[in-house]
Amino acid sequence: MPVALWALAIGAFGIGTTEFIIAGLLPVIAHDYGITIPVAGNLATFYALGVFFGAPALIVLGARVPRKAMLVLLMGLFVMGNALTALAPTLAVALVGRVVTSLAHGAFFGIGAIIAADMVAPSQRVRAIAAMFMGLTVANLLGVPAGTWIGQHLSWRDTFIAIAGIGLLAAASIGWLIPHQPRPKNPRFAHEFNAFRNLDVLLAMGITVLGPGAFFTSITYIAPMMTSLAGFSEGSLTWLMLVFGLGLFVGNQLGGRYADRALMPMLYVTLAAQAAVLLLFNFVAYSQWLSVVCIFLMAAFGFATVSPIQKLVMDKASAAGAPTLASAVNIGLFNLGNALGAWLGGWVIAAGFGLQSPNWAGALLSLGALGLAVISGRKARSPETAAATSGR
């Protein structure tokens, strides 16, 4: 893999840390602001919605900016947003900070995925995208546990200051390692928007919303679930997030390695396995060691789908002649799924189904994603149907 992918991975590390750190900091943030856990969960929901709406807006606004320069600008937004969150005197200001931070997320991964894929041979493109997403998994392996520890022993505000520093390092790395990217010529966004009328693209994006959103339904509320049901101490959350991060790392490596060989079968297996693990987690959340196993497995199976889904959407959108906007929008859809998951998890808890209920709710989302994947796979094997729905 090209060394320039390290710059993308560092940016992904910072973004992954700020996105997932909320799961480990919800109790201390809720206590600091004097609010409930579900209300504090809006810090995850607003972030995810900001990614969803910010990705296409920034791609359009930055259409004539060279991709390398655009990545540096996005890291600037990332630093500003995390600094604002760290200094926020009220929850409302913290939510604004999270939205500003989120604006960098979708466009960064959308542009980064295209740059990564262009650097390698076609047979290695999922691996290249997975190499960028490796930063996201290492964030959960190292960044989130470290940030959780800082938040519990120093201050959650210090955590976000440290994340802003990672953003500065990412901006410098991009400027140094990423090769020159030419200025885009006459982007045809009217044509690119037509891709969203293509049924193949929409099916792939539906998998994006439901698949990774399934494990986010559970992990957003893992702190109260593990302390109240499994009997873990708050100090144990640091290494529980480490287990979660290890699962993401393993899943990303497996997904990148095997999806280049058989993309759709990989999705079938991982989505079905994720649903099974989440359903099991619903019944064993009172057991400490079984909870640890489920946290690892749901992360591994859940994240094994991410780079294959991104490649699937890029392939379908490229066939429709519109890869750039679709790539960025799809990253936003990952986070729309996260927002759906965070909301659904909070809703089932507030409705009185119990702290373990986000697990079975996530299992339903995973089964929905599996159904869409099966439909997409069958359409891909039917050239007549694909031609009829291609929009061309």
Flag whether pLDDT at 363 surpasses 80: yes
Q: Which residues of 80-116 are buried (b: 16+ CB within 10 A; e: fewer)?
A: bbbbbbbebeebeebbbbbbbbbbbbbbbbbbbbbbb
CB 46 within 8 A of CB 54: no
Q: What pLDDT, on a 0 to 100 scale, did the predictor assign at position 47?
A: 86
For residue 184, give the DSSP letter.
Answer: P
Mean pLDDT across the stretch 321-337?
73
Q: Which domains does the chain have, with CATH numbers?
A: 5-389 (1.20.1250.20)
Query: What is the chain's percent helix, strand, coil content, to nearest 5?
Result: 85, 0, 15
Looking at the chain, the whole-number percentage of residues with pLDDT higher than 70 is: 89
Q: How far is CA 359 from the centre of its chain?
A: 18
Dihedral of the CA atoms 330, 331, 335, 336 (nearest 10)? -20
Flag whether pLDDT at 281 surpasses 60: yes
Token pair of 81 as six digits: 């947003």
pTM above 0.75, yes or no: no
Mean pLDDT rounded to a whole number for the chain: 82
Task: Name every residue whose Cβ is closer than 8 Å to that of residue 321 and which is 6 or more positions away in sequence.
Answer: 191, 192, 195, 392
What's the pLDDT band for 21 if we cut at 50, 70, 90? confident
Q: What pLDDT, on a 0 to 100 scale, did the predictor assign at position 160?
A: 93
What confidence tens digit (pLDDT) does each residue in 220-247 have?
888 888 988 988 887 788 788 788 888 8
Flag whether pLDDT at 46 surpasses 60: yes
| Phi, psi dihedral angles at 282 (to 5 degrees) | -60, -35
Q: Which residue has the tokens 């809006």?
A: 42
Higher pLDDT, 104 or 184: 104
What's the length of the chain?
A: 392
What's the pLDDT band for 273 if we cut at 50, 70, 90? very high
Give the whole-angstrom CA distance, residue 358 versus residue 38. 12
